[in-house]
Amino acid sequence: MARTLAMFTDTSLCIGCRACQVACKQWNELGMEVPQWTGTYQNQPHFTDQTYRLVRFVEEARPTGELAWLLMSDVCKHCVQAGCLEACPTGAIYRTQYGTVDLNQEACNGCRYCVSSCPFGVVAFDKGPGTAKKCTFCNDRIQNGLGPACAKACPTDSIQFGFREDLVAKAQKRVEALKGMGVRDAQLYGADPRGFLGGLNAFFLLLSKPSTYNLPDSPKLPQRNVVADSLLSIGSGVLVGLGALLAFRGRGQGGGDA
Amino acid sequence: MLKAPQWEMLIVWYFFLGGIAGGAYFTAAIADNFGSARDRAVAKVGYLLSLPLTAACGILLIVDLGVPTRFLHMLGAFKFWDPMSIGAWGIGIFGLFSLGSSVLSFSTSAQALALRRKGSLVGSIFGFFLAAYTGVLLSNTALPFWGDARLMGALFLASGASTGMAAISLLMWLGGASSGEGWDKVKRADRYSMIIELVLLAVFLGLLGSAAQPITSGRVAPLFWGGLVGVGLVIPLLLEVVGQRVRAVAAVSAVLVLVGGFVLRYVVLMSVQT
């Protein structure tokens, strides 16, 4: 197993240029989309089958009365505990030797279970080929010693690419520096391997709480209840079976069988 | 911010027919193994009903896929912790049991009878599975309501039982076999299943609390309360108590139970997907 690769998106450096969004579309040969009016410069309200990197423009009212304009290049989180991967019944979604989560277009049969299993709503269904689509962490690039297209294109190094431990260390230093400068709400999202989902291999530095960016504060693996739910189903089966047994063994016009 | 999988009418029908197929089969297995010789008709109808329904389920699932020709890719992996994966295998294995039991229903030899009865006990595990697993599949997604519903699988199983038994009794009535003891027994089993289903539904809603809003007070709420609770469970139970000896009344109640089972799958699936 090779060392884990990661992307660290430092939103404090983002200028909202969307070079990452364009580079992603170009490298992955994604289709043109008619932008959906969101009331901001954001092109789409959320990830689509043709948008794997999406720059979010969030206006947050601060107590001082000012509006903070928060810019965030959002992407698939490549979760250490990935709901989409656990859901996929064909093995099309799998983890690469680098820890990233790839989606093999040849294996996908379009059941869409992954679409409903992402706590962030990342995976989208492409009606054209009938398969699911998401950021692959530029798998073809990383398998050839290159970094993701978005990281390459970012002019401010807001998106950094490297080995996970190195990036986490950098991120922690950066948060401390920001806090020292008075940015009290600076926080990491997904950097902690003991945190939610085992940590995210595409993690972030945010300038406000996650819900400001429409990110879940404490995302959970959707499949965490499989055992409990299955046991409850078995319990129901026992009850129903007993009922049927009672009905068929009970008082009839005499018993015995042939 | 979450995305729905767009499982719509094809999957509503699949959930409904799969529940009946599984429920009819395990009812048949119980009648075959624990009932008297007079209950054989219940067993035969149950086994034979499950076969074309399972085939229909397979077709519905395949057609719903984004790339239907790749349906066999499901058999490229076996992840026992993944409801979708074991579901694909499970429905296939159940189909084989359904076929075997159905074929053996036409034989009168003692060996065929013994084999059928032993086989259907094993097959009924897969029958229970088919009725329940789709609920567990939903309750392990990230979506609101679905993902919060710990009892979805349990509820679907009870509904599979009540609809499967209703379907058997309706077919028997239509085929003129409703004057036997077997019919009385399957109706009784159906009443027990409906009571279990009502109790489970109450606990299901209680545990969900406000998370149940999509079905209790959303767009589909009238269908849920009127179609499932009213038409699908309370009214048929009342009808059976009041019209005990009148077979036609019991046949009507079976139809209502089936309608209720369809409504359950419809409201669960469509309430979260616009």
Burial B107-137 (b: 16+ CB within 10 A, else e): eeeeeebeebbebbeebbbbbbbbbbbbbbb
Residues paired with residue A202 on neighbouring β-strands, in sequence order: A7
Please write the tens of the pLDDT for every residue from A75-92.
999 999 999 999 999 999
Please write the tens of the pLDDT for every residue from A212-249.
999 999 999 999 999 999 999 999 999 999 999 999 98
Of A34-43, A69-78, A122-131, B165-174, the one with minimum mean pLDDT is: A34-43
Searching chain A, which residue's CA lies closest to the CA of residue B42? A248
H or E element in which residue A81 lies? none
With a CB cutoff of 8 Å and minimum separation 6, the contacts of B271 are: B145, B214, B215, B218, B219, B220, B224
CB-neighbour burial class of residue A81 (10 A; exposed 0-12, middle 13-18, buried 19+) = middle
Check A226 against B81: CB less than 8 A apart: yes
- Between vectors from CA A216 to CA A215 and to CA A220, what angle results, nearest 5°? 140
What pLDDT score was predicted for residue A2? 80
Q: Cβ of B182: how many Cβ atoms within 10 Å?
A: 27
What pLDDT score was predicted for residue A258? 36
Specify whether the CB–CB gap between A163 and A8 falls below 8 A.
Answer: no
Per-chain mean pLDDT for chain A: 95
Band (B169; pLDDT cuts 50, 70, 90): very high
Please write the tens of the pLDDT for every residue from A163-214.
999 999 999 999 999 999 999 999 999 999 999 999 999 999 999 999 999 9
Percentage with pLDDT > 70 across chain A: 97
What pLDDT score was predicted for residue A251? 58
Please write the tens of the pLDDT for every residue from A30-63.
999 998 888 999 999 999 999 999 999 999 998 8
What pLDDT score was predicted for residue B177? 77
Q: Which CATH architecture has domain A5-220?
A: 2-Layer Sandwich (3.30)
Band (A255; pLDDT cuts 50, 70, 90): very low
Q: Residue B43, Cα to own-chain centre: how many angstroms?
A: 16
What pLDDT score was predicted for residue A256? 41
Band (A253; pLDDT cuts 50, 70, 90): very low
Smallest CA–CA distance, residue A211 to chain B, in Å, is 11
Q: Cβ of A162: how many Cβ atoms within 10 Å?
A: 15
Q: Residue B169, Cα to own-chain centre: how many angstroms?
A: 14
What pLDDT score was predicted for residue B247? 83
Band (B130; pLDDT cuts 50, 70, 90): very high
Interval A12-16 mean pLDDT: 98
Specify whether the CB–CB gap between B211 and B263 falls below 8 A.
Answer: no
With a CB cutoff of 8 Å and minimum separation 6, the contacts of B164 are: B19, B20, B21, B22, B23, B24, B25, B26, B27, B46, B49, B131
Contacts of A213 in chain B (CB under 8 A): none
Residues paired with residue B124 on neighbouring β-strands, in sequence order: none
**Strand A159-163 vs strand A5-10: parallel, antiparallel, or unpaired?**
antiparallel
CA A257 – CA A162 distance, rounded (Å):
73
Searching chain A, which residue's CA lies closest to the CA of residue B78? A89
Contacts of B66 in chain A (CB under 8 A): 108-112, 125-127, 129-132
CA A154 – CA A131 distance, rounded (Å):
29
Interval B167-179 mean pLDDT: 89
Residue position matching structure tokens 């989180």 = A77
Say if residue B225's pLDDT is above 90: yes
Smallest CA–CA distance, residue A83 to chain B, in Å, is 8
- Report yes or no for ipTM above 0.90: yes
Q: Cβ of B9: how many Cβ atoms within 10 Å?
A: 12
Query: A52, A76, A212, A229: which to substitute to probe chain B, counting the most B Cβ within 10 Å?
Result: A229
Check A229 against B140: CB less than 8 A apart: yes
Q: What is the 3-state secondary structure (H, E, C) of B155-209?
A: HHHHHHHHHHHHHHHHHHHHCCCCCCHHHHHHHHHHHHHHHHHHHHHHHHHHHHH
Contacts of A133 in chain B (CB under 8 A): none
Give the phi and the psi of residue A56 in degrees, each rounded to 5.
Answer: -100, 140
Give the phi and the psi of residue B134 in degrees, each rounded to 5.
Answer: -65, -30
Tell me the one-letter amino acid at A224: R
Band (B176; pLDDT cuts 50, 70, 90): confident
Percentage with pLDDT > 90 across chain B: 88
Q: Cβ of B249: how many Cβ atoms within 10 Å?
A: 15
CA B232 – CA A139 distance, rounded (Å):
51
CA A191 – CA A206 distance, rounded (Å):
11
In Å, what is the CA distance from B101 to each residue of A2, A255, B112? 51, 24, 9
In Å, what is the CA distance from A17 to each residue of A46, A108, A207? 17, 33, 18
Sign of CA dihedral B59, B63, B64, B67: positive
What pLDDT score was predicted for residue A254? 42
Please write the tens of the pLDDT for every residue from B85-113.
999 999 999 999 999 999 999 998 999 99
What pLDDT score was predicted for residue A1? 62
Locate the domains of chain A by residue range: 5-220, 223-257
Smallest CA–CA distance, residue A11 to chain B, in Å, is 20
Contacts of A234 in chain B (CB under 8 A): 128
H or E element in which residue B153 lies? helix B152-174
Check B157 against A236: CB less than 8 A apart: yes
Instruction: Report helix, strand or coil for B132.
Output: helix
Contacts of A233 in chain B (CB under 8 A): 128, 132-133, 135-136, 153-154, 156-157
Domains contained in chain B, CATH given: 9-270 (1.20.1630.10)
Q: Residue A189, Cα to own-chain centre: how many angstroms?
A: 12
Check B66 against A246: CB less than 8 A apart: no
Give the phi and the psi of residue A211 in degrees, each rounded to 5.
Answer: -65, -25
